[in-house]
Structure 1
């Protein structure tokens, strides 16, 4: 898609800063388009864009992932295991936490500014052509995510990638990533989220997500509610695809808390793998790992050939999931977790209870306007002792006073503090955590929205960090 890469840049990594300003330009030009919170329910625009680009999404096999929670963690595990097998990988996830480059990963590293800019400038004339055609037809121009998807496909073709792990942006059937045909379709747990866009029931949401299943694909699914599973079974039957479901075809046999994460034993669809180190916290991450293993088995050996234990162990041990129960500071411990719906908040609460020993837990909370704030607070209320309500930098963030009123309605005024400034909120949360009584120290968890987690990660990466 673009001129030959220089030896100093293989397409991955952060680069030397020379192209940082140009990368900011790319981000600004993407942001000038309709944002991710208002996707267009269509494939035709993205399909036209990639057609003009020569269909780069057909240059490599694809593992396509959807679901409500756990998509990014599962995607990153799959990518890490594939890379351990010697494959040159591409990985597209969303949203990013700090930098746009995080969304387009080549061989385990965010794409460099140089390659991001080069590929964007290469495809820009073709995106302009599509915009012109759409305007002439009275349709909205390419959205942020539609343009970003075309960019990611071009970057992976340019790399070039041996295999791409592709996370949907929203839903599945009409998500712009669905112009690619996944040989393996992966489903993490499906629950209520984005109801205004995807439907008001789990069944309707699952039906939309099942749209990523392509003819004769291998379908791998986490354990699902019966109404969600029925939709996946229907999609598999209609496309003559195989279906492997957690708890039946594969699953977690055991998990034990370990330093820095857990040790898991997984029964895959083709083999059994004992004592694998997973450097992530929470039983839900062990379940994500089981889904990832089954997906890789389905891709590499059509689900009939066991993976090499040592290679699998290497891949899982190297897996990371930024912003998911990530420790960003100590004394007191500060965790960030991107739980942004009740299902994710319940998993977070269980993980804190099971994997950490805090004498007192304080949550720094911010929620976006289209989310179930009361449900999130309720899910955390049995684990969190005090809530420090604040606002992220997103213009979709609920006003701190409004969110506090919601929290007070769930847990009472005595457990809620308002600090509109994030730095002040973190300081207050630390002070409250330090009031823990007994032998166990207090801890802080920052949660409720991905944008809040991104803001805190940016603070932690700045000079001086969160000290």
Structure 2
């Protein structure tokens, strides 16, 4: 169904943005349910049932593993839809086919369709229980005087992606979980492989037992008809995954292993042993030792999906992977890197990549903007653990409701004995860092994907 005359993406976005967005307000799992999401998809004709999926969760590395799995699938000859969150610059990036984000016209059309369907669902047209209050990840449980809950921003965007993938007739969907797992709006897909990259403290209160609590939520994406692929983790966490009774359980260090992981020009070269083969000297076009671990997960997951050994032509797909804002080099003199690291583990990985793969003769300036739920001291301390240099910090605040004030970032740097300055907007911070840098220096922009996205848009649009 096409939008009516005069309808535009701007109008569709205005409607969408009128819904509660818990990506901006971050909640817990209490009282959550997938029923509203199932009702919304039922009204759309169950589009998510039209194709198999690889479903990916974990604290860090989801986006990289998803992109690698998609690259392998495309090299295999599949038409692949990829769903990711959050976006770096534009909402279109969240859903892509063959690496190309959805176009404005198609996005406007699918959102218009959802706008019509939403009223039907709220009125109880798909069997939603009257007065129901269940919500999904990103759900609200808010009613609008009808029978069912109003879908959330994240539910609607997820449904839009699944509907578009069906319209395009993809062979495979590679779906990245939002912030949760069991109760994430994505956890309705026809999953053939479920991946848990790792378990970290991000979005938790850090109380005793937090690892188990996080794993119990993440493990909810594992199903008895799907193979489970787990990154390196403690045996007690593996046991939680086993309780979900996946069809097969493949654990890093036990069933597959990253045997070699060394830097190369423009990325890494890895050797990975999987249940079916040993893949030697596979080139991965991403920087950082952590991408070796992600490559091992991706190779194992895709091998499990197709249930056979991968040949050289498929492995070559790993050499063409590019991910915006994942240690993305956008300048050379000075070296300028944009990384969406948003927690201490991610920031430590970015810093370690800088130390291992780049020789910086001059000073290193970090432009840092983060969310209010982050500890700026812990984030900056993560740089120290990698032996990377941090000669100066320019604190900033991304344009997002939960952003940490720039002054708090600068204060944390000063308390650690690091020279610090404050800049309001991300673009101002980037410009200031570049003004302070010579050709032999480096500027690293990190702390949040929202910071990375704003910086990328600022630089690549020619404003710096």
Query: CA separation in 2, counterparts of 1:417 and 1:310?
Result: 49
* Equivalent in the alignment of 2:293: 287
* Equivalent in the alignment of 1:29: 15
* Equivalent in the alignment of 1:458: 457
* Equivalent in the alignment of 1:232: 241
Cα pair 1:77 1:320 within 8 Å, conserved = no
Cα pair 1:181 1:214 within 8 Å, conserved = no
Query: CA separation in 2, counterparts of 1:425 and 1:164?
Result: 37
1:428 paired with 2:432, answer yes
Q: CA deviation at 1:331?
A: 1.2
Query: CA separation in 2, counterparts of 1:202 and 1:416?
Result: 34
Query: CA separation in 2, counterparts of 1:197 and 1:98?
Result: 31
* Partner SS, residue 190 of structure 2: coil
CA RMSD of aligned residues (A): 2.3
Q: Could you say if the C-alpha distance between residues 367 and 27 of structure 1 is closer, same or farther in structure 2, counting changes exceeding 3 Å?
A: same
Q: CA deviation at 1:227?
A: 4.0
Unaligned 5+ segments in structure 2 are 134-140, 143-149
Alignment of 1:345-356 (within 5 A): 345-356=347-358
Q: Could you say if the C-alpha distance between residues 90 and 197 of structure 1 is closer, same or farther in structure 2, counting changes exceeding 3 Å?
A: farther
Query: CA separation in 2, counterparts of 1:209 and 1:334?
Result: 34
Query: CA separation in 1, counterparts of 2:443 and 2:6?
Result: 33
Alignment of 1:328-407 (within 5 A): 328-359=330-361, 360-381=363-384, 382-383=387-388, 384-407=390-413
Query: CA separation in 1, counterparts of 2:432 and 2:378?
Result: 24
Q: CA deviation at 1:251?
A: 2.2
Q: Could you say if the C-alpha distance between residues 198 and 61 of structure 1 is closer, same or farther in structure 2, counting changes exceeding 3 Å?
A: farther
Show CA shifts across 1:390-435 (max 9, x none): 11121221111122223333x12x422222243332233224442x
* Equivalent in the alignment of 1:145: 154
Q: CA deviation at 1:71?
A: 0.2
Q: Could you say if the C-alpha distance between residues 351 and 294 of structure 1 is closer, same or farther in structure 2, counting changes exceeding 3 Å?
A: same
Unaligned 5+ segments in structure 1 are 4-18
Show CA shifts across 1:353-385 (max 9, x none): 111111332100011111232211110134222
Q: CA deviation at 1:279?
A: 1.0
Q: CA deviation at 1:20?
A: 12
Q: Of 162, 179, 184, which residue of structure 2 is paired with 1:175?
A: 184
Cα pair 2:84 2:176 within 8 Å, conserved = yes
Q: TM-score, with normalisation over the residues of structure 2? A: 0.88
- Comparing both structures, which one devotes a greater share of its residues to helix? 1
1:415 paired with 2:415, answer no
Query: CA separation in 2, counterparts of 1:20 and 1:218?
Result: 47
Q: Of 264, 268, 274, which residue of structure 2 is paired with 1:262?
A: 268
Query: CA separation in 2, counterparts of 1:20 and 1:330?
Result: 44
